[in-house]
Chains A and B, each alone.
Chain A
Amino acid sequence: MEVNAPKQLSQSSRKGRRAWRKNVDISDIQEGLDKVREETIIHGTTLNSISSDQLFAVDTTVSKSALKKVGKKPLKVDEILAPSSAIPALVSRKRRIEDEAAALKKKYKVQGVTYKELGRLLPVAGRTADAKSSLANLETDSRIIKHMYDVWAEDGSVDAKTEDNDAKPPESRTKKNKDLLANAKEIRLFETTSHAKMQNRPSTITRPPIAFKESTKAVNEPIEGQSYNPSLESWQELLGQENAALEKVEKARLREEEHKERIERLQELLDERERLGLDEVDSDEEVEASPAVSTVEVKKEESLESATGAPPVPSTELDKTIIDLTRAKSKVRKHKLGKYAIMERPVAVKLSDELTDSLRLVKPEGNPAKDRFISLQERGIIESRVQVMPGRKYKKKVTEKWSYKDIK
């Protein structure tokens, strides 16, 4: 951008002291300054201060890549991002100090240990603010096995077929460890612990986990309506299902709200009557709330029902199938495993305006990490937990500062 001095007025006369001083033509000086500024932007300094051998060089070689480069048009993005000035940008004082410190850290060591190494050790020891030592360990001890071998080899040794020299057996199979193992048997005889080591796996360990859903597959069969380009029927069906589920939740919420409102209203009525000084007995009669059914009572009823409705002795095939079905049903758990209920799957359906028939335009629905986590909970592999943030240990106390004493 070029900045010019204000244009000279067509003033014929420069008579008088003021006029003489005011109407000076400085355009040539302005031009010179502009030139110098431009040179400094391009070269860092003025051209005069650069020696000519720095400015010019005689190119005697021809490089193919250079030739190719000449023909290649730079991308617009690169053009925009390229620095427009050779003058380095200004750096704040704080930033400069930080950078210098970082450079120092890179360069120097503490007792022969680099700062980088130290930075890795601190979280392992749990000495950082957000210490997650297990994650830190996973980071340092990669689970990629360097010396692969066949775990399922029948003779328990390295796969005979591979004959790779780098495939080493794990530690326990070396001769030294075998001797140790033999000794261990003797040692066990003189063990002082009260319990003996279990020799075999208990049968309980192989029992499948208690699932919350009927399908215990790790990856459930995909829902047809969730296709990126679904058929109309399957999509409508899925939409209907999700809608029904949401409606149910919404209805329950509305019912609860209504109940709350009603109680509030009654409370208000009661208060008003008290204020007016009406008879208490009267008010009780008029404000008759329907007797709330306690959960205990409901449970009692249910238990009674189940007691009387004990499964009858199977007489026919039909009865048998029904009883089998009830048993199969009972395997699916309804109640939570621990303290908390499992997470609920969010609604995953595209609305009509979001549907596309192009793979390019597809927008994924839901979070895959969350889905996997919920799947683990549904299959009963992990218990559901709720992250509890540690609260404040002591109560906050407000006191007045005693600084007013300082006035003396």
Chain B
Amino acid sequence: MRIKKKHQAGAAKNFITRTQAVKKLQLSLADFRRICIFKGIYPRAPRSAKKANKGSTAPTTFYYTKDIQYLLHEPVIQKFREHKIFARKLSRALGRGDVSDAKRLDENRPRYRLDKVVKERYPTLLDAIRDLDDALSMLFLFAAMPASDKVTARVTEDAEKLCSQWMAYVARERLLRKVFVSIKGVYYEAEIKGQEVVWLVPFKFPQNVPTDVDFRIMSTFLEFYTTLIQFVLYRLYTDAGIVYPPKIDSARAHGVGGISAYVIESKREKESLIDTSNAEKAAITESEMVSRAQTISTVLNKANNPAAEDKAEPVAVDGDDVDEEVTETLDKFTALPSTDKVISDIIPQPEDISPEDAIKSLLSPFTFYIGREVPLDIVELAIIAQGGAVISESVLDGYLHVDTDAVPEAEEVDFDARQREVDALLKKVTHQVCDRPALASKVPGRIYVQPQWIFDSLNRGRLMPVDEYAIGATLPPHLSPWGDGAGYDPEEVEKADEVEESEEEEEEEEEVEDEEDEVEETAEVEVEEEDEGEEDDALQHQRELEAEARGIMYSSTTSKKRKRGNEKPKKSVEQKQAEEEKELRKIMMTNKQKKLYNQMQYGIQKKETRKEALKTKRRKLEKNKQHKKRVL
């Protein structure tokens, strides 16, 4: 028999230390880290570090040998090596003072693309969307960063651009499902192609750049995610029939920026724009002037362009169609007007809109005027994703009070015309979003709300009562839509309650009959269990026969039987047994397992109590409601 050598098989072969990997790939450590991030290769933990590291117990990072082997032929790595050579040549040229040579070298510098890496890591679009959380959060983080020596201005600009494109898409397609404003930033959840995408947007405050964060690593992630998100956006835009990349309204981008600066046009529009005659073009530019004053809703939909209108508002139109169809299929029973003799019942009708559609067009009839003190980026996205229109005070100010020095002489600004436009726009306003303790003057006909009203309405899927969110009112707490309900679904409970109530009624009816039986049965159960089953079966058979004779359906009897209360004592015996068994097992458990088990039980208990508390709260509320009704 051959003697097996140590460290020749198993963990020693399967794992490779970082130093070994770097040597094998002939890269610098920085480049190795970058390629690992691009290709999605993570540090691993062997079960025994000692075995994996040939007997050494020094703290090291391990990787799978196969992963590293797979990297050997990566084209991006080849580019890294070429770049190293280029950097050496460039450095030499600059050191010698051959500046023109250096420039020539720089023009022909090796560049790499991450397209194939994206395709390889995410074989389908859905895979990419599933992993979008991280990408979006990273991009939004960099978009909010100040330009510094660690993050250049161009990087933040690019990130901001992509973020705005993303928000414009989510807003236009009305995909936003949840918003939560926390002290960390704003959490959003959108539903993209059936996938839930959650991302965190930091507040637009100047952040300080932390010193203990390695921004070389962060910017490498950003590099990869920038590529990824562009491909995703391209597909999403094309699937929605919109041109990618969207145009930017430069005038707006200069002022407020954000999603309001994006002019999204559908593909058909683009063609029609090319075909239109000069007169029509003039009309379009005029309409653009108008849209400049309004914010995204009109810009996105291009409502002023009649040729494109039918195409431009696909969501709204589709939604209406769906509603109509549903009303056709589902017959609605309307109550006849009740007379003195006949009192007609009003039957609650099924709601014909799914909750998601409800969110999509929750604010569709409204136009919001957003005060200058409200963070526009958060509110705007939430409103437009629910179908509302947005007019922002700060944008209007910029439109009306253009700095005449900045405008070239040739462009004479007609301020009176603008003022008239703005006045016409302001007439449409139904709601004003305001975040001040008090307002000096109110416009009659407008509803004044605080921004939280929009978020809570979106999260609940229905319009919240406005008076709770009025100016100066103490707001109700802003609850997380992800919540700590511990799996408590209020609607589900409602159904369960109904069932319980019906059960209770039945029980009450049958209790009188079965009382005697119960007493007997409970006595029997303890004495002889096995016989009891048989006896029960026989009894049931007898009952079934009787029922058949009377002409009652089999299913109804059995279901009743199951619900009947006389099974309760039997169950309790079983439970007792189970509990005893559990206790016994608990004794047998090791200390570690016992702790774990207790922990588990604690968690379950906590959830249950929370659920119970919510239930009782609900019952109380409902009772109060009923009581009130009766009083009235």
| A interface residues, Cβ below 8 angstroms from B | 63-65, 68-69, 72, 110-113, 117-118, 121-122, 124-127, 130, 132-135, 137-139, 141-145, 148-152, 159, 161-162, 170-172, 195, 197-198, 201-202, 204-205, 207, 209-210, 217-219, 221-224, 226-232, 234, 305, 309, 312, 316, 318-319, 322, 325-326, 329, 333, 335-339, 343, 348, 350, 357-360, 362-373, 376, 380-383, 385, 387
Q: A253 to B343, alpha carbons, bound, how many Å? A: 77
With a cutoff of 8 Å between Cβ atoms, the chain B residues found around residue A232 in the complex are 477
Q: Are B226 and A198 in contact (CB under 8 A)?
A: no
With a cutoff of 8 Å between Cβ atoms, the chain A residues found around residue B588 in the complex are 312
Tell me the residues in window 45-70 of chain B with beta carbons closer than 8 Å to chain A beta carbons: 45, 59-61, 64, 66-67, 69-70
The 6 closest A-B pairs by CB, nearest first: A231-B477, A218-B134, A209-B42, A309-B590, A202-B66, A218-B133
Q: Are A230 and B589 in contact (CB under 8 A)?
A: no
Q: Are B182 and A228 in contact (CB under 8 A)?
A: yes
Q: Identify whether the interface residues of A are mostly helix, strand, loop, or mixed.
A: loop
CB-CB nearest in chain A for B187: A222
13 A-B pairs with CB atoms under 8 Å apart are A69-B404, A113-B102, A127-B94, A127-B95, A135-B219, A143-B226, A150-B231, A205-B41, A221-B198, A329-B596, A338-B59, A362-B181, A380-B42
Measured CB to CB, the closest approach of chain A to B515, in angstroms, equals 36
Q: Quick one: which of A162, A217, A380 contacts B133, CB cutoff 8 A?
A: A217
CB-CB nearest in chain A for B270: A164
Q: Quick one: which of A122, A141, A329 contacts B94, CB cutoff 8 A?
A: A122
Measured CB to CB, the closest approach of chain A to B530, in angstroms, equals 22
Contact string against A for B residues 100-123, beta-carbon threshold 8 Å, 1 for contact and 0 otherwise: 101100100001011110111001
Q: Are A113 and B103 in contact (CB under 8 A)?
A: yes
Q: A353 to B66, alpha carbons, bound, how many Å? A: 55
Measured CB to CB, the closest approach of chain B to A343, in angstroms, equals 7
Q: A380 to B45, alpha carbons, bound, how many Å? A: 10
A348 and B183 in contact (CB under 8 A), knowing A110-B99, A322-B596, A372-B141?
Answer: yes
B480 at interface by CB-CB < 8 Å: yes
With a cutoff of 8 Å between Cβ atoms, the chain B residues found around residue A201 in the complex are 70, 120
A359 and B216 in contact (CB under 8 A), knowing A210-B44, A227-B479?
Answer: no
Q: A372 to B140, alpha carbons, bound, how many Å? A: 11
Q: Beyond the given A143-B226, A145-B230, could you list 18 further A-B residue pairs with CB under 8 A, ordered by the A residue number?
A: A64-B413, A72-B401, A148-B230, A148-B231, A162-B238, A195-B72, A204-B66, A219-B199, A222-B184, A227-B181, A227-B478, A322-B597, A338-B61, A357-B475, A364-B183, A372-B138, A373-B218, A383-B61
B37 at interface by CB-CB < 8 Å: yes
Q: A142 to B83, alpha carbons, bound, how many Å? A: 16
Q: A118 to B98, alpha carbons, bound, how many Å? A: 11
Q: Are B42 and A364 in contact (CB under 8 A)?
A: no
Measured CB to CB, the closest approach of chain A to B119, in angstroms, equals 5
Q: Are B90 and A125 in contact (CB under 8 A)?
A: yes
CB-CB nearest in chain B for A161: B238
Q: Are A198 and B183 in contact (CB under 8 A)?
A: no
Q: Are B45 and A333 in contact (CB under 8 A)?
A: yes
B533 at interface by CB-CB < 8 Å: no
B145 at interface by CB-CB < 8 Å: yes
Measured CB to CB, the closest approach of chain A to B123, in angstroms, equals 8
With a cutoff of 8 Å between Cβ atoms, the chain A residues found around residue B582 in the complex are 318
Q: Are A364 and B203 in contact (CB under 8 A)?
A: yes
With a cutoff of 8 Å between Cβ atoms, the chain A residues found around residue B398 in the complex are none
CB-CB nearest in chain B for A206: B40
Q: Are A376 and B221 in contact (CB under 8 A)?
A: yes
Q: Are A222 and B182 in contact (CB under 8 A)?
A: yes
With a cutoff of 8 Å between Cβ atoms, the chain B residues found around residue A125 in the complex are 87, 90-91, 94, 102
Measured CB to CB, the closest approach of chain A to B239, in angstroms, equals 9
Q: Are B155 and A138 in contact (CB under 8 A)?
A: yes
With a cutoff of 8 Å between Cβ atoms, the chain B residues found around residue A141 in the complex are 111
Q: Quick one: which of B66, B205, B484 contacts A224, CB cutoff 8 A?
A: B484
A202 and B119 in contact (CB under 8 A), knowing A113-B103, A170-B113, A359-B451?
Answer: no
Q: Are A111 and B484 in contact (CB under 8 A)?
A: no
B: contact size bracket: 35 or more
Binds A, one of B207-215, B291-299, B334-342: B207-215
Q: Are A205 and B99 in contact (CB under 8 A)?
A: no
Q: Are B413 and A65 in contact (CB under 8 A)?
A: yes
Measured CB to CB, the closest approach of chain B to A239, in angstroms, equals 13
Measured CB to CB, the closest approach of chain A to B17, in angstroms, equals 10
Q: Are A368 and B184 in contact (CB under 8 A)?
A: yes
B435 at interface by CB-CB < 8 Å: yes
Binds A, one of B146-154, B345-353, B356-364: B146-154
With a cutoff of 8 Å between Cβ atoms, the chain A residues found around residue B145 in the complex are 369
With a cutoff of 8 Å between Cβ atoms, the chain B residues found around residue A369 in the complex are 141, 145, 207, 209-210, 213, 218
With a cutoff of 8 Å between Cβ atoms, the chain B residues found around residue A387 in the complex are 212, 214
Q: Are B596 and A326 in contact (CB under 8 A)?
A: yes
Measured CB to CB, the closest approach of chain B to A105, in angstroms, equals 13
B235 at interface by CB-CB < 8 Å: yes
Q: Are A134 and B34 in contact (CB under 8 A)?
A: yes
Q: Are B119 and A152 in contact (CB under 8 A)?
A: yes
Q: Are A372 and B478 in contact (CB under 8 A)?
A: no
Q: Are A126 and B477 in contact (CB under 8 A)?
A: no
Measured CB to CB, the closest approach of chain B to A177, in angstroms, equals 12
A223 and B182 in contact (CB under 8 A), knowing A121-B90, A132-B216?
Answer: yes
Q: Are A138 and B100 in contact (CB under 8 A)?
A: no
With a cutoff of 8 Å between Cβ atoms, the chain B residues found around residue A359 in the complex are 181, 374-375, 378, 435, 450-452
CB-CB nearest in chain B for A69: B404
With a cutoff of 8 Å between Cβ atoms, the chain A residues found around residue B482 in the complex are 221-222
B387 at interface by CB-CB < 8 Å: no
A117 and B103 in contact (CB under 8 A), knowing A132-B216, A198-B70, A369-B141?
Answer: yes
CB-CB nearest in chain B for A333: B45
Q: Quick one: which of B83, B99, B450 contacts A113, CB cutoff 8 A?
A: B99
Q: A365 to B200, alpha carbons, bound, how many Å? A: 14
A370 and B141 in contact (CB under 8 A), knowing A148-B234, A202-B66, A230-B478?
Answer: no
Q: Name the residue among B95, B182, B187, B214 with the largest chain A CB count within 10 angstroms.
A: B182
A202 and B207 in contact (CB under 8 A), knowing A219-B137, A219-B198, A383-B43?
Answer: no
B255 at interface by CB-CB < 8 Å: no
Q: Are A150 and B99 in contact (CB under 8 A)?
A: no
Measured CB to CB, the closest approach of chain A to B43, in angstroms, equals 5
B245 at interface by CB-CB < 8 Å: yes
Q: Quick one: which of B152, B238, B593 contacts A322, CB cutoff 8 A?
A: B593
CB-CB nearest in chain A for B473: A357
